[in-house]
């Protein structure tokens, strides 16, 4: 049968509000059909006159010694045979968390003694009392609406708690309610239970009336003072709207244990002083109880307002008053108390309450620069007229002190609880006081695992993660919200996390922590307490999950989810969201941790000692010993059973020395043994919650010593790091083969730089000359990120081989090209395949090297790429001047690729990023919308720059259309990526999280900019220095290319040196920011020197400037790869690599397109003005290309003018290099002043 949920409007429910107080408790209720009629329970069974119809009942209970039955409230016998338990509500709070005056009070001592005598724990006592209170309330409700109505209604229970109570007390209160039977199953459905703070409940009951007052205005601040029996709680609200009535918590509330019960104790102490303790103890308990009830509770206490009157106390006959001279003399039956006597009783408690109110007023004034408008007094003690008169005297200037009469202030808490239950379920809109936001009284968060940063983390916290093969820290706190923060009661606070798994997990869980410390701790320490454990048991389609492959080829499934936290009063609710859907409530279990396992040891070694059980199967004993002015905070990790006795003896020795616990050793060992056994018996389903973009480390182990706090760099690190699995000849063959492909890719970047004249001469197509370089780099840029996605889901070995095949095919087409169009297509194919090769080299190097040596190998890739880039013009020029012709500048790729092919096919490792997934499932992970949008935007933009002033005028319709289409595609791409249209956050092609993550967005953006600048700064001199020497010195193609050697050699040397420095394990040379600063300055100076070159500038000048430029560019051309990879979590390192590679190719793309367009436009414009009108446009373009005889037939003076014009045009592209160097300098100023610690994984 299909069940249909009843709508809230038609729901038959009874909402019951319970105010369980220190001295008195109350219950109110309302039926959903008549929500405005809130009734307060009374008709209590009573042994004392005048009390049965009171709105509240005493929070006292008496356990019969023989029968085990209990009496409670007013029904406790007054024969005095047994003393009832009172104040037991405060036993719910650990003794160490009670103020000293409460902890040492006589009433608390009596309560603890009676609880021990009855052999009952606080939760059990409260449970029994709640059971009696609940049964009486249900009887009253049944007598009012009938048994049939009660049976058909669901129950919604709201219990109030002091706002100042710690969260563990609420957990114990929930357990007491469950044990009392409040949540027992009923025919009408499940009973719900929620909590609300006492001051907030009071505000709900009283503030609605304010909206009807003409003096109430938006912006008013109202302080609600809940002065109850045991606690005084304060909360301040700001009125945001009158209709509907909406408020928000203005400042953090406050409170203390200073309620009316302390008046009772002070009054009894005064009587004892007046009549002597011995005389007071002579009074039968029944008579003493009646005296306090009649003379104090219902006479002096509610009536005293500092009037100058005498109060007569009728003493029992057994009480002798001082002044009696002898036996048989008539005893005085009355005790007279004057104003001074009573002030001694009231003032200490009233003064403490006034101090709390003044602090709340000061907090409001600091935030708003104005005083609150009103103070509303509620609660039992809040009815005290003397409290109001003193508040009016002390703080009443321009602040109204409101105090209701009759039972309203006394019952405000329980009535407010009922209102909260009604409005929370939308059963009584007319009663609603919407609390828009609250101020958190605690910090709530999770303990995250993060990459170890020696400048941010303590060395003792690090451990070795065998999944990611890097040093990690799992004691970092990630706070949902911080204490004192405004928290919306509607909008949840959301955090994203993920875990890595090798097999299907039975459940996913994590621990939520809280802290009252301010500021909240950045690491897990003694100030942070476990709040609850969230366990999620939803069935997961394991095969559909995205995969993560670590550097050694080990594959994990990645589960991404979000945890939402919602605050409502004193309730903290958690929801788990996975794959964009909220997990059903039955799939989320919030289990509050029991303190029972910790209390024994904590109480034994003192309140300053705590035991912390870490979910990674470690136990930490954090103890602080303070003796003789010495304070020592020491965490001790118990990684194995072998260490338990050693650590236990250490604890014993320290405790004995500090606190004299001479018999502590054996007991400490037993407790630690029990705790370790319990920890090991529990199923371990994960470590600390992992922050989004941070992989899970739950299944990792620490260093073999079992104590990662003492692990050192160097010797200890090498002992536990994984070794390279490929060695010997096979290793050298693999390195040679994959680096050779990187060399060929780089070679093709620039191989056409020095063969353009021959190609133009053969195909007679000067206008297409720019496309020889642009087609290649445009293809590389357009598919860079698309390839990175493919490498994340397909086998890298075969994807790499496919890239090699496309590249070789493009090379063959270029070599055999019959015309310019075929050559351009071949160049584009080389770019498409080459970028696949290049990214594959990065992945394969990471998969076949150790963490320690990886930076050096990454640097070797950069050096190889730099050598190929810089040798391209030399090799191309050599072939162009030889009988082999320019075609072998492309054919050369074929034999080299053929020699490396056996290594590619038979030696390369082949990790599977998604084992078990079909090819369709893998392809479904690709962003098929974002990829073509990005490709189209890049192609149109590049064509617009390249065609401008060459094929089309800049203001022509075709040129404008290209830029418009590029802009539209880019905007659509940004929207698609931002809102995940047709994709998901994990599948989108652009790593948006890199520019939105607060942790590393700055580093990634800055590395993107400096690497793009590096690509630009390299290619301008590579393309234009040889041309300069051909025009000014008459060099041949090969000679002109050799002129690049100063630039090449210096840049390679600097790049190699910097790579070695960054890879140094000590991090001694890892401070990279100064390198970028110096490199930027040097590049600006050097490129400026190149910009001012003339036709007669000396060769030494050009060599020196180009060498200086190589030194500057070498500092930032490749370093961005290592820095970006080391700055992000290991699973994101591959994506970081592809993003930086995109930056590099984008810089090259822009440099080539812009510089060629600028050069051709300026040169054509100047030559047109210089040459006679008889010279055709084709002849001018041939002259610019350095071919033909047009210039050589001109007069010498005109030849010199042409040469000067061409040199001037050649200088203009260096403006791009000047801009690039300046950009690096600016970026260096914005960089973090930190070292790159390369013993952590550098990525893949």
Q: Give the integer Cα–Cα distance in Å for 34 and 758.
A: 96
Domain boundary among 568, 589, 610: 589
Asked if 1215 and 1149 sit in the same domain, the reply is yes
**Could you tell me the pLDDT band of residue 541, with boundaries at 50, 70 and 90?**
low
Asked if 804 and 738 sit in the same domain, the reply is yes
- Of 75-89, 509-523, 540-554, least confident by mean pLDDT is 540-554
Q: Give the integer Cα–Cα distance in Å for 556 and 554.
A: 7
Residue 79's domain is classified under what CATH number?
Answer: 3.30.420.40
Whether the Cβ atoms of residue 231 and residue 198 lie closer than 8 Å to each other: yes
Among 150, 212, 240, residue whose Cα is nearest residue 187: 150
Whether the Cβ atoms of residue 517 and residue 527 lie closer than 8 Å to each other: yes
Higher confidence at residue 532 or residue 709? 532
Q: Of 132-146, 225-239, 574-588, 789-803, which has the strongest mean pLDDT?
A: 132-146
Give alpha helix (H) positions in 1092-1132: 1099-1114, 1119-1127
pLDDT tens per residue across span 950-992:
667 778 888 889 889 989 999 999 898 888 888 887 778 887 7
Chain length of the chain: 1244
Distances (CA, A) of 164 to 19, 1154, 1233: 15, 66, 42
Asked if 1021 and 873 sit in the same domain, the reply is no
- Of 198-202, 318-322, 812-816, 927-931, least confident by mean pLDDT is 318-322
Q: Give the integer Cα–Cα distance in Å for 173 and 127.
A: 8
Distance of CA 1207 to the CA centre of its chain: 56
- Of 852-861, 862-871, 1033-1042, least confident by mean pLDDT is 852-861
Q: Is residue 1132 part of a domain?
A: yes
pLDDT at 770: 66
Angle at 1030 between CA 1192 and CA 1184, to 5 degrees: 60
Asked if 956 and 1065 sit in the same domain, the reply is no
Residue 1155's domain is classified under what CATH number?
Answer: 1.20.1250.20
> Residues 405, 409, 410, 416: what is their CA dihedral angle, to the nearest 10 degrees?
140
Backbone angles phi, psi at 25, to 5 degrees: -125, 150
**CB atoms inside a 10 Å sphere around CB 488:** 14
Domain boundary among 572, 589, 606: 589
pLDDT tens per residue across span 627-664:
222 223 233 333 333 334 344 444 444 433 333 333 44
1028 CB-contact burial (10 Å; exposed 0-12 / middle 13-18 / buried 19+): buried
Peptide bond into 519 cis (omega under 30): yes
DSSP letters of 899-946? HHHHHHHHTS----SSTT--HHHHHTTS-TTHHHHHHHHHHHHHHHHH
863 CB-contact burial (10 Å; exposed 0-12 / middle 13-18 / buried 19+): buried
Q: Is residue 1126 part of a domain?
A: yes
Q: Give the integer Cα–Cα distance in Å for 345 and 341.
A: 7
E strand or H helix that includes residue 463:
strand 462-465
Domain boundary among 528, 559, 589: 589
Among 1117, 861, 1087, 1114, residue whose Cα is nearest residue 1011: 1117
Count H helices and E strands in the chain, helices first.
39, 33
Asked if 781 and 857 sit in the same domain, the reply is yes
Q: Does the pLDDT of residue 365 top 80, yes or no?
A: yes
**Could you tell me the pLDDT band of residue 133, with boundaries at 50, 70 and 90?**
very high
Distances (CA, A) of 1186 to 539, 775, 939, 1179: 70, 22, 29, 10
Higher confidence at residue 389 or residue 48? 389
Q: Does the pLDDT of residue 604 top 50, yes or no?
A: no
Mean pLDDT of 732-742: 86
Question: Helix or strand or coil: residue 1086?
Answer: helix
Among 685, 807, 674, 679, residue whose Cα is nearest residue 751: 807
> Looking at the 3D structure of the chain, how many domains does it have?
5
Those residues whose C-beta lies under 8 Å from the C-beta of residue 151, and which sit 6 or more positions away, are 186, 187, 188
Buried b (16+ CB within 10 A) or exposed e, 650-675: bbbebbeebbebeebbebbbebbeeb
**CB atoms inside a 10 Å sphere around CB 945:** 24
Higher confidence at residue 751 or residue 1112? 1112
Distances (CA, A) of 421 to 18, 157, 184: 11, 7, 19
Higher confidence at residue 267 or residue 749? 267
Q: Is residue 1179 part of a domain?
A: yes
Whether the Cβ atoms of residue 1122 and residue 1242 lie closer than 8 Å to each other: yes
Structure tokens at 69: 């039955």
pLDDT tens per residue across span 1138-1186:
778 778 878 877 887 788 778 888 888 888 888 887 777 777 777 776 6
Q: Is residue 956 part of a domain?
A: yes
Q: Is residue 911 part of a domain?
A: yes
pLDDT tens per residue across span 857-901:
766 776 787 678 777 777 887 888 788 888 888 998 899 888 888
Q: Does the pLDDT of residue 1061 top 80, yes or no?
A: no
Asked if 444 and 584 sit in the same domain, the reply is yes
Mean pLDDT of 223-234: 80
Asked if 1162 and 1208 sit in the same domain, the reply is yes
Asked if 888 and 964 sit in the same domain, the reply is no
**Could you tell me the pLDDT band of residue 665, with boundaries at 50, 70 and 90?**
very low
Structure tokens at 774: 């642009």
Q: Is residue 1183 part of a domain?
A: yes
- In this structure, are strands 154-161 and 192-197 parallel, antiparallel, or unpaired? parallel
Structure tokens at 902: 């056996």
Q: Give the integer Cα–Cα distance in Å for 213 and 219.
A: 14
Query: Tell me, what DSSP letter sits at residue 84?
Result: P
Asked if 894 and 978 sit in the same domain, the reply is no
- Of 124-133, 260-269, 363-372, 677-686, least confident by mean pLDDT is 677-686
- In this structure, are strands 555-568 and 493-501 parallel, antiparallel, or unpaired? antiparallel
pLDDT tens per residue across span 236-263:
888 877 777 777 777 777 777 677 777 7
Q: Does the pLDDT of residue 621 top 60, yes or no?
A: no
Residues facing residue 568 across a β-bridge: 571
Buried b (16+ CB within 10 A) or exposed e, 949-969: bbebeeeeeebeebbebbeeb
Average pLDDT, the chain: 74
Residue range(s) defining the domain that contains residue 936 = 927-988
pLDDT at 653: 40
Q: Is residue 283 part of a domain?
A: no
Q: Does the pLDDT of residue 913 top 70, yes or no?
A: no
pLDDT tens per residue across span 27-43:
999 988 787 788 888 88
pLDDT at 598: 33
Q: Give the integer Cα–Cα distance in Å for 1124 and 1135.
A: 10
Q: Does the pLDDT of residue 704 top 60, yes or no?
A: no
Asked if 932 and 951 sit in the same domain, the reply is yes
pLDDT at 1234: 63
DSSP letters of 146-172? -HHHHHHSEEEEEEEE-TTS-HHHHHH
Helix 728-750 to helix 771-793 angle, to the nearest 10 degrees? 140
pLDDT tens per residue across span 456-481:
777 777 888 777 677 888 888 888 77
- Ranges assigned E (strand) in 113-228: 154-161, 192-197, 221-227
Alpha-carbon dihedral sign for residues 645, 646, 651, 652: positive
Asked if 1108 and 977 sit in the same domain, the reply is no
pLDDT at 850: 66
pLDDT at 200: 81
Q: Does the pLDDT of residue 553 top 80, yes or no?
A: no
Among 560, 531, 550, residue whose Cα is nearest residue 472: 550
Higher confidence at residue 804 or residue 689? 804
Residue with tokens 């830029």: 963
pLDDT at 912: 67
Asked if 832 and 895 sit in the same domain, the reply is yes
Whether the Cβ atoms of residue 27 and residue 137 lie closer than 8 Å to each other: yes
Alpha-carbon dihedral sign for residues 777, 783, 785, 789: negative
Structure tokens at 642: 């072998």
Question: Helix or strand or coil: residue 120?
Answer: coil
Those residues whose C-beta lies under 8 Å from the C-beta of residue 853, and which sit 6 or more positions away, are 724, 1063
**Could you tell me the pLDDT band of residue 416, with boundaries at 50, 70 and 90?**
confident
Q: Give the integer Cα–Cα distance in Å for 1150 and 1009.
A: 13
Q: Is residue 1221 part of a domain?
A: yes
pLDDT tens per residue across span 940-952:
887 887 776 666 7
Helix 1133-1170 to helix 771-793 angle, to the nearest 10 degrees? 170
Query: Considering the chain, what percentage of its residues have pLDDT values greater than 70?
Result: 74
Residues facing residue 237 across a β-bridge: 222, 249
Angle at 800 between CA 799 and CA 802, to 5 degrees: 65
pLDDT tens per residue across span 495-537:
777 777 776 676 777 777 888 787 888 888 878 877 777 776 6
Backbone angles phi, psi at 479, to 5 degrees: -85, 130
């Amino acid at each position: 049968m299909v069940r249909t949920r009843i709508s809230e409007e038609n729901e038959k429910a009874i909402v019951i509000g319970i105010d369980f107080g220190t001295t008195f408790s109350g219950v109110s209720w309302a039926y959903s059909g008549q929500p405005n009629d809130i009734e307060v329970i009374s008709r209590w069974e009573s042994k004392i006159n005048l009390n049965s119809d009171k709105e509240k009942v005493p929070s006292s209970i008496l356990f019969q010694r023989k029968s085990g039955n209990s009496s409670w409230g007013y029904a406790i016998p007054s024969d005095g045979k047994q003393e009832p338990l009172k104040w037991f509500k405060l036993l719910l709070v650990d003794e160490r968390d009670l103020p000293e005056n409460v902890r040492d009070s006589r009433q608390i001592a009596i309560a603890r003694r009676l609880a021990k005598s009855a052999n009952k724990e606080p939760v059990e006592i409260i449970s029994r009392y709640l059971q009696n209170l609940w049964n009486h309330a249900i009887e009253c409700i049944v007598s009012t609406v009938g048994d049939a109505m009660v049976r058909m209604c669901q129950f919604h229970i709201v219990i109030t708690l002091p706002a100042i109570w710690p969260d563990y007390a609420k957990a114990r209160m929930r357990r007491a309610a469950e044990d009392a039977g409040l949540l027992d199953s009923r025919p009408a459905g499940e009973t719900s239970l929620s909590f609300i703070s006492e001051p907030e409940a009071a505000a709900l009951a009283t503030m609605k009336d304010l909206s009807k007052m003409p003096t109430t205005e938006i912006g008013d601040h109202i302080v609600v003072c809940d002065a109850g029996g045991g606690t005084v709680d304060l909360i301040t609200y700001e009125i945001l709207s009158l209709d509907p009535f909406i408020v928000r918590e203005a400042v953090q509330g406050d409170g203390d244990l200073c309620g009316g019960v302390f008046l009772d104790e002070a009054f009894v102490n005064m009587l004892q002083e007046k009549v002597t303790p011995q005389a007071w103890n002579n009074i039968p308990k029944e008579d003493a109880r009646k005296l306090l009830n009649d003379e104090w509770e219902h006479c002096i206490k509610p009536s005293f307002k500092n009037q100058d009157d005498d109060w007569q106390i009728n003493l029992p006959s057994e009480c002798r008053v001082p002044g009696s001279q002898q036996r048989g003399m008539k005893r005085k039956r009355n005790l007279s108390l004057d104003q001074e006597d009573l002030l001694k009783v009231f003032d200490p408690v009233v003064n403490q309450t006034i101090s709390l109110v003044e602090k709340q007023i000061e907090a409001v004034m600091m935030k708003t620069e104005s005083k609150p408008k009103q103070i509303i007094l509620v609660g039992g003690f809040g009815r005290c007229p003397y409290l109001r008169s003193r508040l009016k005297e002390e703080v009443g200037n321009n602040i109204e002190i409101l105090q209701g009469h009759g039972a309203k202030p006394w019952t405000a808490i329980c009535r407010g609880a009922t209102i909260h239950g009604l409005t929370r379920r939308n059963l009584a809109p007319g009663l609603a006081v919407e609390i828009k936001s609250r101020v958190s009284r605690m910090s709530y968060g999770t303990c995250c695992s993060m990459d170890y940063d020696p400048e941010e983390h303590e060395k003792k916290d690090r451990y070795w993660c065998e999944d990611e093969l890097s040093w990690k820290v799992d004691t970092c706190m990630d706070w949902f919200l911080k204490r004192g923060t405004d928290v919306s009661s509607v909008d949840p606070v959301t955090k994203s996390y993920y875990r890595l798994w090798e097999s299907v997990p039975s459940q996913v869980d994590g621990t939520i922590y809280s802290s009252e410390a301010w500021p909240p701790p950045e690491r897990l320490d003694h100030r942070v307490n476990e709040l609850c454990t969230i366990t999620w048991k939803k069935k997961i389609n394991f095969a559909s999950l995205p995969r993560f492959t670590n550097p050694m080829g080990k594959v994990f499934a990645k589960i991404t989810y979000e945890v939402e936290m919602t605050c409502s009063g004193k309730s903290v609710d958690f929801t788990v969201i996975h794959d964009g859907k909220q997990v059903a409530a039955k799939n989320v279990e919030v289990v509050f941790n029991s303190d029972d396992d910790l209390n024994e040891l904590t109480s034994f070694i003192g309140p300053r000692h705590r035991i912390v059980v870490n979910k990674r199967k470690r136990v930490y004993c954090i103890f602080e010993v303070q003796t003789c002015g010495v304070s020592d905070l020491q965490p001790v990790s118990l990684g194995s059973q072998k260490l338990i006795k050693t650590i236990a003896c250490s604890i014993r020795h320290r405790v004995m020395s500090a606190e004299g616990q001479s018999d502590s050793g054996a007991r400490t060992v037993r407790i630690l043994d029990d705790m370790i056994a319990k920890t090991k018996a529990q199923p371990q389903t994960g470590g600390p919650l992992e922050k989004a973009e941070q992989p899970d480390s739950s299944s990792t182990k620490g260093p073999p010593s079992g104590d990662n706090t003492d692990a050192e760099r160097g010797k200890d690190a090498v002992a536990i790091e994984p070794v390279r699995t490929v060695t010997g000849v096979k290793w050298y063959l693999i390195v040679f083969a994959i680096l050779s492909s990187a060399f060929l890719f780089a070679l093709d970047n620039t191989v056409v730089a020095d063969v353009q004249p021959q190609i133009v001469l053969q195909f007679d197509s000067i206008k297409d000359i720019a496309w020889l370089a642009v087609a290649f780099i445009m293809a590389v840029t357009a598919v860079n990120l698309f390839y990175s996605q493919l490498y994340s889901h397909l086998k890298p070995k075969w994807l790499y081989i496919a890239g090699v095949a496309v590249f070789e095919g493009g090379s063959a087409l270029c070599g055999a090209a019959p015309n310019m169009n075929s050559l351009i297509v071949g160049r584009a194919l080389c770019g498409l395949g080459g970028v696949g090769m290049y990214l594959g080299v990065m992945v394969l190097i990471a998969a076949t090297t150790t963490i320690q040596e990886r930076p050096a190998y990454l640097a070797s890739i950069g050096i190889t790429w730099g050598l190929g880039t810089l040798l391209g013009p030399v090799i191309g020029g050599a072939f162009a001047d030889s009988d082999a012709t320019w075609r072998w500048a492309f054919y050369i790729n074929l034999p080299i690729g053929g020699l490396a092919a056996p290594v590619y096919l038979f030696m390369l490792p082949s990790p599977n990023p998604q084992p078990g997934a079909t090819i369709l499932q893998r392809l479904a992970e690709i962003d098929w919308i974002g990829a073509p949008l990005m490709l189209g935007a890049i192609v149109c933009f590049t064509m617009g720059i390249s065609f401008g002033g060459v094929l089309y005028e800049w203001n022509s319709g075709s040129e404008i259309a290209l830029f418009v289409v590029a802009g539209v595609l880019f905007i659509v791409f940004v929207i698609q990526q931002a809102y995940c249209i047709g994709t998901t956050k994990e599948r989108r092609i652009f790593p948006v999280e890199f520019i939105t993550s607060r942790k590393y967005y700055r580093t990634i953006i800055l590395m993107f900019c400096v690497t793009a600048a590096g690509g630009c700064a390299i290619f301008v001199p590579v393309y234009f220095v040889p041309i300069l020497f051909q025009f000014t010195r008459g060099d041949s193609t090969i000679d002109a290319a050799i002129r690049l050697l100063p630039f090449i050699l210096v840049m390679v040397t600097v790049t190699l040196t910097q790579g070695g420095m960054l890879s140094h394990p000590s991090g001694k040379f890892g401070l990279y920011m100064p390198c970028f600063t110096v490199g930027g300055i040097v590049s600006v100076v050097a490129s400026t020197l190149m910009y001012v070159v003339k036709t007669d500038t000396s060769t030494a000048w050009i060599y020196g400037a180009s060498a200086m430029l190589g030194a500057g560019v070498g500092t930032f051309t490749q370093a961005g790869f290592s820095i970006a990879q080391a700055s992000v979590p290991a699973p994101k390192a591959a994506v970081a690599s592809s993003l930086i590679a995109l930056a590099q190719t984008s810089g090259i793309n822009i440099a080539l397109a812009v510089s060629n367009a600028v050069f051709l436009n300026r040169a054509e414009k100047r030559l047109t003005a210089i040459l006679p009108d008889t010279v055709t446009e084709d002849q001018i373009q041939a002259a610019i290309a350095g071919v033909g005889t047009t210039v050589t037939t001109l007069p010498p003076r005109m030849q010199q003018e042409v040469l000067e014009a061409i040199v001037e045009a050649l200088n203009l592209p260096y403006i791009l290099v000047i801009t690039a160097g300046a950009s690096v300098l600016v970026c260096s100023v914005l960089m973090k002043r930190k070292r790159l610690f390369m013993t952590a994984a550098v990525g893949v």
